[in-house]
Amino acid sequence: MIPLIRPNIPKPGVWAPFLEETYRKGQFTNFGHNYFKCVEDLRRITGRYCVPVTNGTAAITLAVKLLRAKGYDETVYVPDFTHAGSFLGASNAGALSIAIAPVSEKTWTIDRDKIAPLPGSIIIVVSPFGYGVDIPRFERWAEEKEVALVYDFAGGFGIDVKSTKWPVCHSFHSTKNLPIGEGGVVSMKDEFHADLIRRMSNFENDLNRNILSDWGENSKMDEFRCSILRAQLAYGMRNYENRHVKNSMLINLYAKEFNLKHGVLSGSRPSLCVLGHDRLDGRDLEREFMIYDITVKKYYIPLTEMSGLSQYSFGLKSPKLFSNCFAFPTDVSDKELECILETGRKILR
């Protein structure tokens, strides 16, 4: 899979004014002025209690830690086709057992029919590149199996999350829907559990700096990144809906141009258009794009194909499709779009 998305970060002149109160009070971390403003803003948008953190992987770590503390301490199942952060988040949370689970070619997330989790397990449900996930179906399945869920919706900020029980994680990486450079958020529907997560993100201290447990870490978002987040919410997201319209047009254009046999998933506001094709190779695209001075990097492969994770393999691999996927950008200039199409024509000749 090859991401071609360009970062979209506001310039310092846009976000620096949000730091004036921070400088006046002299509190640049440990839940300063902008931190709590971000919490308010994100709550209005999502309808959930949000905990801004340093990155998306930290969000997953805290979500898994919360569920482990609540007694869900069997195996953590991670989908085979996902970013390494999904796996490392579970690993960093001290999961006692991790299993890599196969991914369905129809839904591009964990194939529920091919795993038999024990009660007390945790299932990480990944929204593939920001596409929608059938949340009600996962919730019914989790209740039936007596397992917990962590929704890893890294690139899917803007998805309407109906879950009332389980943590939801988003990434604010510079290529995501709400880009701030690096950052993330983990949210809960209830304030009590969100406050537990917030406390864990600050060493699991109480007001007197007593360590309440050994579950804590230091992963809270600082005032600088909070100011960028507020600037994005205030100024940078005005064209959010327009982007969705443009994304849909580009997806249709790509599918028609390359006559791709694997369509894209339906869902809300995808951050990437992901398509599988057996005649295009990532290395070919990388070489071709060098001509246009556009950086293209080979992205991740299924976890079961990563040598460093072989001891965690569940035994069942995902369909071959996931070993040969690439992605088109959703935010591109006219020049980049023409370069992409011309490159595809050359390779397919």
Asked whether residue 191 is assigned to any structural domain, the reply reads yes
Over its length of 349 residues, how does the chain's per-residue pLDDT go in tens digits? 334 455 678 889 999 999 999 999 999 999 999 999 999 999 988 899 999 999 999 999 999 999 999 999 999 999 998 999 999 999 999 999 999 999 988 788 899 999 999 999 999 999 877 667 889 999 999 999 999 999 999 888 877 787 889 999 999 998 787 889 999 999 999 999 999 999 999 999 877 778 878 889 999 999 999 999 999 888 766 555 555 566 566 556 655 665 544 444 444 334 444 555 566 666 666 677 667 666 555 557 899 999 899 888 887 888 877 776 665 554 455 665 666 666 666 666 6
Answer left, alpha or beta for residue 297, where phi above 0 means left and psi between -120 and 50 means alpha.
beta
The answer to whether residues 112 and 154 belong to one domain is yes
The pLDDT of residue 214: 84
Pairing of strands 97-101, 75-79: parallel
The answer to whether residues 28 and 48 belong to one domain is yes
Q: What CATH number is attached to the domain comprising 251? A: 3.90.1150.10
Asked whether residue 1 is assigned to any structural domain, the reply reads no
The answer to whether residues 219 and 157 belong to one domain is yes
Asked whether residue 5 is assigned to any structural domain, the reply reads no
The answer to whether residues 255 and 182 belong to one domain is no
Asked whether residue 127 is assigned to any structural domain, the reply reads yes
The pLDDT of residue 133: 85
The pLDDT of residue 122: 98
The answer to whether residues 158 and 286 belong to one domain is no
Q: What is the separation of C-alpha 304 from the centre of its chain, rounded to a whole number of angstroms?
A: 20
Number of structural domains in the chain: 2
Cβ neighbour number for residue 265 with a 10 Å cutoff: 19
Q: What is the separation of C-alpha 42 from the centre of its chain, rounded to a whole number of angstroms?
A: 16
Asked whether residue 58 is assigned to any structural domain, the reply reads yes
Asked whether residue 321 is assigned to any structural domain, the reply reads yes
The answer to whether residues 118 and 220 belong to one domain is yes
The answer to whether residues 34 and 176 belong to one domain is yes
The answer to whether residues 276 and 341 belong to one domain is yes
Round to whole Å and give the CA distance between 169 and 215.
Answer: 18
Round to whole Å and give the CA distance between 45 and 249.
Answer: 26
Q: How many residues does the chain have?
A: 349
The pLDDT of residue 49: 97
The pLDDT of residue 96: 92
Cβ neighbour number for residue 43 with a 10 Å cutoff: 15
**Total-model pTM:** 0.86
Pairing of strands 273-276, 325-328: antiparallel
The answer to whether residues 264 and 212 belong to one domain is no
Round to whole Å and give the CA distance between 89 and 22.
Answer: 31
The answer to whether residues 185 and 250 belong to one domain is no
The answer to whether residues 169 and 21 belong to one domain is yes
The pLDDT of residue 313: 81
The answer to whether residues 45 and 181 belong to one domain is yes
Round to whole Å and give the CA distance between 204 and 198.
Answer: 8
For residue 303, give its domain range. 240-348
Cβ neighbour number for residue 101 with a 10 Å cutoff: 25
Round to whole Å and give the CA distance between 237 and 241.
Answer: 9
Q: Which residue is it, tokens 């390779």?
A: 347
Q: Beta strands of the chain (E only): which ranges? A: 49-53, 75-79, 97-101, 122-126, 148-152, 168-171, 184-188, 273-276, 325-328
Closest by CA position to 320, among listed 97, 105, 119, 176: 105
